[in-house]
Amino acid sequence: MKGCGKLDKKVMLFFSSFLLILILFVCVVFISEYKNMERLREEYPNISEEAFSYKKTNLKIWAVNLILTFMIPFLILTTGLSSKIKMFAESKTSNKFLIIAIYVLIYFIIDFIITLPLSYYSSFVVKHKFGLSNQTIGRWAEVLFKNFSLSLILSLAFTWVPFYLIYKFPTRWWLYLGLLSIPISIFVSLISPMYIDPIFNKYTVIEDKELEREIQTLLDKAGVGDASIYQVNKSVDTKEMNAYMTGVFNSKRIVLWDTTINNLTREEVVVITAHEIGHYVKGHIWKSIVLGSVFLTLVLFLINKTSLWILNGSDGHFGFNKLYDIASLPLLILIISFYMFFTSPITSTYSRQLEWEADTFELELARNKEATASSLLKLHEGSLSLPRPSKIYKIWYYSHPSCEERVNFAINYEYENKLP
For 256, the 3-state DSSP assignment is strand
d(CA 410, CA 278): 15
d(CA 362, CA 356): 10
Q: What pLDDT score does 11 carry? A: 87
Domain count, the chain: 1
Q: Which of 299, 303, 294, 183 lies closest to 248, judged by CA?
A: 183
Q: Which of 298, 306, 331 lies closest to 10, judged by CA?
A: 306
Q: What pLDDT score does 43 carry? A: 96
C-alpha distances (whole Å) from 269 to each of 124, 215, 373 are 27, 9, 12
Q: Which residues pair with 203 in a beta bridge?
A: 232
Contact 134, 260 (CB under 8 A): no
Q: What pLDDT score does 418 carry? A: 63
Domain span at 267: 1-420
Q: What pLDDT score does 5 carry? A: 59
Put the strands of the sheet holding 203-204 in their side by side order: 203-204, 228-232, 253-257, 243-246
In the Cβ-directed half-sphere of 404, how many Cα atoms lie within 13 Å? 11
d(CA 335, CA 72): 12
Amino acid at 314: S
For strands 228-232 and 253-257, give the pairing: parallel
d(CA 74, CA 246): 36
Q: What pLDDT score does 2 carry? A: 53
Q: What pLDDT score does 7 carry? A: 74
Q: What pLDDT score does 49 carry? A: 96
Backbone angles phi, psi at 230, to 5 degrees: -135, 160
Q: Where are the beta strands (DSSP E) in 46-104?
A: none
d(CA 276, CA 370): 18
d(CA 333, CA 271): 40
Q: What pLDDT score does 358 carry? A: 97
For strands 253-257 and 243-246, give the pairing: antiparallel
Q: What pLDDT score does 10 carry? A: 87
Contact 281, 223 (CB under 8 A): yes
Averaged pLDDT, groups of 10, the chain, 420 residues long: 66 92 97 98 96 98 97 95 96 94 96 97 97 97 96 91 95 95 90 91 94 95 93 96 90 94 96 96 93 94 95 87 95 96 96 97 95 96 96 96 97 80
